Copies of this chain bind each other. A is one copy, B any other.
């Protein structure tokens, strides 16, 4: 897994230690390890319970002032949970979506800090104003305010770039052999010729979009052979 290097997740004045713990956990879930706490609440047992197997991230959290965050970062990103009335003020617009931030940070060769504000208040205008980019997580207008650790979750998920594990999808040749088998099977069940082409296309569509594995193709061949045997031995 190739996590982005040097992305700091910065919590500004978090109020509830549970959120600090959950933040550490979800960071580690997506391969991030640099937690920065600015004027944080006390971090004790409740935070440790929520961090679960991410105690290394929690215990390794850096405690610095916000001015140091700005000073040492090549790119600072302010997250805001809501398109509130101040969105029209110049310092809060235009904003990026998390997906756009992902594209943006790909080109940055330097330290990146992503700032998350207080649970009850977010980041204030002065803090947002000093950031290079504003990122808004698009939420339902009915209730757009995410829990702090859920906001971190969305951002880390978008930035993680974790490749999927691989599994053996059937090759083109294997799929072709299945379609040939299905064609001959249609002979076996006296499928009318005039419907043949459309039926084969339909089967190809069905099996094409299901992304069969090698094993599944093999099982389907087996089922067809077994069925053919029963047809032949009933005659």
| A182 to B: closest C-beta gap in Å | 20
Chain A, range 187-214, C-beta contacts under 8 Å to B: 211, 213
Residues of B within 8 A of A50 (CB): 147
Whether A79 sits at the interface, judged by CB under 8 Å, is no
Would you call B160 and A157 a contact (CB within 8 A)? no
Whether A162 sits at the interface, judged by CB under 8 Å, is yes
Residues of B within 8 A of A53 (CB): 143, 145
Number of copies: 2
Residues of B within 8 A of A93 (CB): 167, 213
| A52 to B: closest C-beta gap in Å | 8
Q: Which of B87, B157, B216 meets A154, CB within 8 Å?
A: B157
| A128 to B: closest C-beta gap in Å | 15
Would you call B28 and A140 a contact (CB within 8 A)? yes
Whether A11 sits at the interface, judged by CB under 8 Å, is no
Would you call A29 and B139 a contact (CB within 8 A)? yes
| A93 to B: closest C-beta gap in Å | 5
Residues of B within 8 A of A138 (CB): 160, 162-164
| A235 to B: closest C-beta gap in Å | 33
Report which A residues bind B (CB closer than 8 A).
Answer: 1, 3, 22, 25-26, 28-31, 50, 52-54, 83, 87-88, 90, 93-95, 97, 136-147, 149-150, 153-154, 157, 160, 162-165, 167, 169, 211, 213, 215-216, 219
6 tightest A-B CB contacts, nearest first: A31-B140, A138-B162, A28-B143, A150-B153, A83-B165, A29-B139
22 pairs, A vs B, C-beta closer than 8 Å: A1-B141, A3-B140, A22-B147, A22-B150, A26-B147, A26-B150, A28-B142, A29-B146, A30-B140, A53-B145, A54-B143, A88-B167, A90-B219, A93-B167, A93-B213, A94-B211, A97-B164, A138-B164, A149-B150, A150-B153, A153-B153, A153-B154
